[in-house]
Amino acid sequence: MINTIIRIAAIIILAVIGGIVARPHLETQLFTASISRNVGPLDIVAELERSTIQLFERASPSVVQITTLTTGNDSAPSELRTGSGFFWDVFGNIVTNEHVVNDAKAIIVWLASGEHVAAEIVGSAQNYDLAVIRAKEQGQAPIPISIGTSSNLKIGQWAYAIGSPFGLDQSLTTGVISALKRRLPTSKGRAITNMIQTDAAIYPGNSGGPLLDSKGRLIGVNTIGYSVTGSNNALGFAIPVDIVSDIVPKLIAKGRVPTPGIGIVPGDGAALIRMGLEGVIIARIRPGSPAERAALRATNQDGGVVGDVITAANGERIRDVFDLTSQLEHIGVGHTVKLQINRDGKTLEMEVEVIDIDLKSQP
């Protein structure tokens, strides 16, 4: 019995001694295991931060701040505006919004290096809110931002906006693509389709700056931010790069883009509501226009005659003037559009030529 007690006591003493000897090794292992459990998430965050930092460092040298002095008159005095832009190519062409340089009598471009140069308008397209400007004295342009595509964008994809909000130096905002295929009215019954909505903050002064994907490729041109009444939230919108890639080369080459039309002036939609119809009612027709040659009928207020209502174009339903102008832009100048007309309750089909209605030679 005594021998048994002695053996148990010896085992306990050896276990205690072993624990004391092994303690430093065990603590090292536990500390290492604790670190290894934390390294993964920390490394992921650090890598994401490095990617964002590198994206900004690559793209920001090509982004500029734009200051303009607008022409004034008795009813609207001159004013200073600020916006953003970015180098499109190695020839010094800079893309921005049309509303940033509209009516500008002086344009100053502030480079990322801090230098500033006077610039002039190369071309503008009000219907797309896009413009191209170029420095009057050419220097070496920075490497342009890589051009991506907007055709395969997905909601939830990361988005990065660079610009000069409120006239400050460059800033970066991040977010995601919140929605696609938005429509933004511009002017004269026109609208930009397939607009990108993002929650990457777009402040006044960011207009004209680039919207980038996670690889630093251009996916859009930031154009406007809408503040929601009674909320601190805002909706940011960008012109998709596929439209930009189509319009900008035309502005560089010719200074303008065609405005497809058929020579009609749309009427008030209230008459359509009273008639229980949707579409575009013709209020007036330009003399000598394709609409006149096709014998379309305008509204005659004196005679009480209601004009033709365009309800479809090339088989596509027309609900409003934005649908019609979008279809005409898709068809293009020089082609023919097949219109479906409601006239006095009867459905007619007519083919009408699409022309560039802004050309001086046009009616």
Within a domain: 275:
yes
294 plus 332 within the same structural domain:
yes
Q: Coil, strand, or helix at residue 286?
A: coil
Closest CA to 337 of 309, 308, 362, 314: 314
279 assigned to some structural domain: yes
Question: In this structure, is residue 183 part of a structural domain?
Answer: yes
In a domain, 58, yes or no: no
* Same-domain pairing of 169 and 226: yes
Q: What does pLDDT average to in each consecutive run of 10 residues of the chain (363 residues)?
A: 52 49 52 50 78 94 94 74 95 95 94 93 94 90 94 96 88 95 80 91 92 97 71 79 96 95 88 82 94 93 80 94 91 95 93 89 51
Domain with 269 in it: what CATH number? 2.30.42.10
Q: Is residue 94 part of a domain?
A: no
116 is annotated as an active-site residue: no
Last residue of a domain, one of 210, 245, 280: 245
Q: What pLDDT does residue 26 have? A: 46
Q: Number of folded domains in the chain?
A: 2
Q: DSSP label at 54? A: H
- Work out the number of other CB atoms within 10 angstroms of the CB of residue 322: 19
pLDDT at 213: 96
Query: Is the same domain home to 212 and 277?
Result: no
What CA–CA distance (Å, rounded) separates 80 from 104? 9
Measure the CA–CA gap between 48 and 289, rounded to whole angstroms: 58
281, 337: one domain: yes
Does 230 share its domain with 269? Answer: no
Q: What is the pLDDT of residue 20?
A: 47
Flag whether 294 is in a domain.
yes
Picking from 71, 94, 72, 68, the residue whose alpha carbon sits closest to that of residue 83 is: 68
Task: Give CA torsion, residues 261, 100, 181, 273, to 10 deg.
Answer: -50
Look at residues 214, 245, 276 and tell me which one is the last residue of a structural domain: 245
> Which of 60, 62, 84, 129 is flagged as catalytic?
129
CB-based contact 13:20 (threshold 8 Å)? no
Q: Are residues 350 and 265 in the same domain?
A: yes
Sort 316 into a burial class: Cβ within 10 Å, 0-12 / 13-18 / 19+. Answer: middle
Q: Which of 207, 289, 323, 326 is catalytic?
A: 207
The answer to whether residue 169 sits within a structural domain is: yes
Residues 267 and 347 in one domain: yes
Instruction: Give the pLDDT confidence score for residue 284 in this predicted structure.
Output: 93
Cβ atoms of 340 and 313 closer than 8 Å: yes
Q: Which of 99, 150, 213, 326 is catalytic?
A: 99
CATH code for the domain of 221? 2.40.10.10
Whole-number pLDDT of residue 68:
95
To the query of whether residue 213 is one of the catalytic residues in this protein, the response is no
Is the distance from CB of 200 to CB of 90 less than 8 angstroms?
no
The torsion of the CA quartet 287, 289, 294, 295, rounded to 10 degrees, works out to -20
Same-domain pairing of 340 and 289: yes
Domain with 320 in it: 260-356
Which residue, of 245, 280, 298, is where some domain finishes? Answer: 245
Distance, CA of 300 to chain centre: 41
pTM, to two decimals: 0.80
User: Domain check: are 217 and 275 in the same one?
Assistant: no
Residue 103 lies in a domain: no
For the question of residue 335 being annotated catalytic, the response is: no
pLDDT at 43: 79
Q: With contact defined as beta carbons under 8 Å apart, do 232 and 176 qualify?
A: no
| Inter-residue contact 55 to 216 (CB < 8 Å) | yes
